[in-house]
Amino acid sequence: MNMARFELTLPAMGEGIIEAAITRWHVVKGQQVKTDQVLLEVATDKVDSEIPSPVEGTVFRIVYNEGEIPRVGEVIAIIETEGDNNEEHVEMHVEPVVHDKKQVAVELHAPVNLQTGHDHSEKEDTYISPLVRLLAQQRGIQANELKQVKGTGLDGRITRDDLIAFMAVRNPTPFGGDWTTVPEPQNSQNGLAVPEITPDEDDEVVEMDRMRKLIASHMIRSKRVAPHVTSFLEADLTGMADWRAKNKDGFFAKEMVRLTFTPLFVEAVSKAIKDFPGVNVAVSGENIILRKNINVGVATALPTGNLIVPVIRNADLENLSGLARKITDLAERARNGGLVPAEIKGGTFTITNIGQYNNLTGTPIINQPESAILAVGTIVKKPWAVKTEIGYGIAVRDIAMLSLTYDHRVIDGALGGSFLSRVVWYLENFDTNREI
C-alpha cells in the first residue's frame, strides 16, 4: 500500500495574525484521525481556535509542541494517508472556538496564574489569552505586572501588541531595535582585542544597564560600518531668535506648548532634505535605499543619563504648531517611559541638540541605518560681520555652530556641504514677519 504524507500547516486566522500559540494537542503520534476531527487548539491575541484534520490518516509527526508558537504557514504536524507517496497541501479555513454564553462570561472575568495557566479566583478585570500568557512567561512578566498592561482588544483584552508596548516602556530600546534583544558582552571591538582593566581598590564597578549596552553596541556598529565625515558651518540665528522671543508667550497661550528652537530646526532640516534628498538615504549591502518619507528623529536625554531617539514621521508635512506639539509630547513621554516601539523606529535623519549643555559643537555618530545626523551647538552672542547699505560692519549677533556627520559611502563632501549650507540658509532667512 502506498502512503502519502500530508503537511498540516498553521492556517491563516484573520488579518494581522501572523502566529499562534499551541495550547493543546488532542492527538498523539501514531494515532488514527478522521477528516474534520479536531487535532489541536491554538490561541492568538485575538481569537482562540480549533484546527480540524483535513484528511484521514495516522499522525506521523508532531512538529510543534504545546506552548510553542509557530507562524502562519509553518508545518505543525505531518499525517500519513493512503495514496501516492508524495506530500500534499490543502487550503484550510479555521473558525474561532465558540463557547456557550456562560462559558464566555466565566473566561472574560477569570484571572490566570501565569505559572500554571489555571484560573484561580472568581473575578478579574480582563481575560488573558493563552498566547499573551505564554509571551508574558517567556519575557519574565509577573502576574502583578500584567495587571498594569492596558488592553486595547475586545472588551479590554490584552493583545500581543499591548504586551510589546508594555515591554518597550519597561525596557525601552533607544534606537528602535528588537526590544527583546540585549547584545551579549563583547570581548573585542571592531576586530581589536579589548584589554582587561583591573580596578583600583577605591574604584566602584557598575554594570551597564540594558539601555547603555544597546547604545554601546549601536555606536560601535555605526562606526564600524560607516566611514564618518563631519562638516561644520556657523549660522546667524539673530532674526529667528528675535522672532521666537517676541512670539513664544503668544504661541504658548494659543498652543499650550512651549516654542523651543527644536521645531524650528526640524522645519529647516525638512525643507533642506526636500532640496537634497540624497542625504535621506540608507545603505543595504551594495544598494542605496532612497527614503521617500522624511522622518526626523530628535535625540532626547533621559533622567538616567541614557539617550533615546523618538521619531517625527513625515515632518515635512507638519506646520510649526504640529511640530512643536509632537516634539513636546514625544520628549515628555520619553522621559517618563511612555513611548511605544513604533515611535522610535523608522527614522531617516536625526537631529541632536548638544547646545542645551552649552557645547559649541560636536561630531555625533550616525544613527544607523540612517546616513546623516545634524548636531546643533549652543547659541552665543558674538561679534559678526554684517553687510549694510554702506558696506560691512561689526555687530553682536546670535550665532550657533552646526555640524553634519554623514556616511561617506553614499554622501560625498559636495552633497554633505551643500545640504548643510541649505539648512543654514533656511535658518538665516527665517521669515521674521511670520504669524504664529
Helical packing angle, 238-255 and 320-335, nearest 10°: 80
On the question of pLDDT at 122 being above 80, the answer is no
408 in active site: yes
Round to whole Å and give the CA distance between 104 and 98: 9
Contact partners, residue 253, CB within 8 Å, separation at least 6: none
3-state secondary structure (DSSP) of residue 200: coil
Cell 492527538 identifies what position?
A: 27
Q: Which of 48-62, 140-154, 301-315, 338-352 has the least mean pLDDT? A: 140-154
Q: CA-CA distance, 125 to 109, in Å (whole number)?
A: 6
Q: 12-26, 35-49, 179-193, 353-367: which range is least confident on average?
A: 179-193
The pLDDT tens digits for 38-80 are: 899 888 765 567 899 999 999 999 999 988 888 888 999 999 9
Annotated catalytic, 412? Answer: yes
Residues 143, 114 contacting (CB under 8 angstroms): yes
Q: Which pLDDT does position 400 carry in this prediction?
A: 97
Task: Supply φ then ψ for residue 202, to 5 degrees.
Answer: -85, -5
The backbone torsions φ and ψ at residue 325, rounded to the nearest 5 degrees and listed phi first, read -65, -45
Residue 150: predicted pLDDT? 78
Residue 127, pLDDT above cutoff 80: no
Which one is catalytic: 125, 242, 275, 412?
A: 412
Catalytic residue among 178, 329, 408, 431: 408
Is the model's pLDDT at 213 over the cut of 70? yes
pLDDT at position 389 is 86
Residues 221-246: tens digit of each pLDDT: 899 999 999 999 999 999 999 999 99
Domains, the chain, ranges and CATH? 3-88 (2.40.50.100), 101-170 (4.10.320.10), 227-428 (3.30.559.10)
Residue 109: predicted pLDDT:
33
Question: So what's the pLDDT on residue 180?
Answer: 37
Residue at 242: amino acid letter = D
What integer is the mean pLDDT of 369-389? 94
Per-residue confidence (pLDDT) for residue 113, from 0 to 100: 40
H/E segment holding residue 413: helix 413-428
Question: What are the φ/ψ torsions at residue 353 (nearest 5 degrees)?
Answer: -100, 90
> For all residues of the chain together, what is the average pLDDT?
82
Place of cell 527665517: 430
Residues whose CB falls within 8 Å of the CB of residue 300, separated by 6 or more in sequence, listed in order:
307, 308, 309, 310, 330, 331, 334, 335
Mean pLDDT of 27-32: 94
User: 120 or 210, which is more confident?
Assistant: 210
Res. 192: pLDDT tops 70? no
